[in-house]
Amino acid sequence: MAARREILAGVMSGTSLDGVDAVLADFTPGPVACTLLAATHVTFPSDLRRELLALQDAGADEIVRAARAANALADLYVHALRSVCLAAGVAAHDVVAAGVHGQTVRHRPQEGWTLQINNPARVAEHAYMTVVADFRMRDIAAGGQGAPLVPAFHAAMFARPGRARVVANIGGIANITILPARGDVRGFDTGPGNVLLDLTSQRHLGEPYDDGGAWGATGAVDAALLASLLAEPYFAAAPPKSTGRDLFNAGWLDARLLAAGWRGRAQDLQATLAQLTARSLADAVRAHAVDTEELLVCGGGARNAALMRALAAALPGVAVRSTDAEGVASDHVEALAFAWLAREALAGRPANLPAVTGASGPRVLGAIHPR
């Protein structure tokens, strides 16, 4: 009699605030860590996106607004889960669990807390699935950063004996996972990914992002401005470290443009910001993973051709390509990671990496909401 398939869902809405990615994957033990069954993307309604963005900063009536946004987001998660099950031809009751991270609106590990907008009980109730959520707080309680959480999954998916690799997840914020030929897995947030690029695109093009980096590619990098942006102390700080919109936001960028007396063309600014993402990431690789042979890129940044070229130029001798080349679509990696994290939580296995987050030891991550 064939073993029952171990099917889990993963749901992710990241710092870029573009929408919800949901995947369904089969983790039945076999030659690969998991097999993707289906994936879907649900775009944020414009009013919900505006509210989630506004909740990044202090404002009036925050508690009520956050609770309402959590319900609206939970309903979008339910829609995404139903859609991905339909696409895969899998019934909800056959899904072991869904890892549902929520939407990070504040991240203050130095103060011992982080906040993800979510209502996992509502998701469990209406999707009829066991839901695992609140992945960060146990690691933070153990003295860690609570982020990044994906390196353990990156190791399960992409580590190869004898090959020195780095996985770069470039969403709104960029992070790297260092997979050495031998030794411990390490990783940390390197700085802005797409967050500043998207901001500039919205301001000057009226578009949510610079498709493929085509507009930015028409500009020229301003070396003096780039140097002033790279002077941000976060880049030189030693890991473990994590960041988000709490630091890299419109206020951060505008203050630095003002200090630099910037009066250049918008496309030159975009080209410079792409170089900022590439350089800060490449500098981190050179400083902490000097033997790297391959850089595997996932997240929205993998679709930015100009950014990929900048990374390749900044890391001569390193093969730079998207995770698609490894058979895992770059858009699906992070949602798959949260399906894997849910699996680890249900099994009672620690899923944080203290060498990455700085926690005092391994911890089981996530709060479980039964179906």
pLDDT tens track for 278-315: 999 999 999 999 999 999 999 999 999 999 999 999 99
pLDDT tens track for 201-252: 999 999 999 999 999 999 999 999 999 999 999 999 999 999 999 999 999 9
Q: What pLDDT does residue 29 have?
A: 85
What band does 31 get if pLDDT is binned at 50, 70 and 90? low
Give the integer Cα–Cα distance in Å for 68 and 126: 17
Q: Which domains does the chain carry?
A: 7-147+331-369 (3.30.420.40), 151-326 (3.30.420.40)
370 pLDDT more than 80: yes
DSSP letters along 258-318, please? HHHT----HHHHHHHHHHHHHHHHHHHHHHH-TT--EEEEESGGGG-HHHHHHHHHHSTTS
Predicted TM-score (pTM) of the model is 0.94
* Percent of the chain residues topping a pLDDT of 90: 94
Q: What are the residues facing 189 on neighbouring strands? A: 175
3 pLDDT more than 90: no
How many C-beta atoms surround the C-beta of residue 38 within 10 A? 17
137 pLDDT more than 70: yes
Q: What pLDDT does residue 32 have?
A: 72
Q: Are 105 and 52 contacting, i.e. CB atoms less than 8 angstroms apart?
A: yes
Burial class (CB in 10 A: 0-12, 13-18, 19+), 288: middle
What band does 17 get if pLDDT is binned at 50, 70 and 90? confident
What three-state secondary structure class fits 38? strand
Report the mean per-residue pLDDT for the chain. Answer: 95
What band does 1 get if pLDDT is binned at 50, 70 and 90? very low
Q: Are 137 and 146 contacting, i.e. CB atoms less than 8 angstroms apart?
A: yes
* Percent of the chain residues topping a pLDDT of 70: 99
What band does 14 get if pLDDT is binned at 50, 70 and 90? confident
pLDDT tens track for 105-136: 999 999 999 999 999 999 999 999 999 999 99
Give the integer Cα–Cα distance in Å for 307 and 144: 31
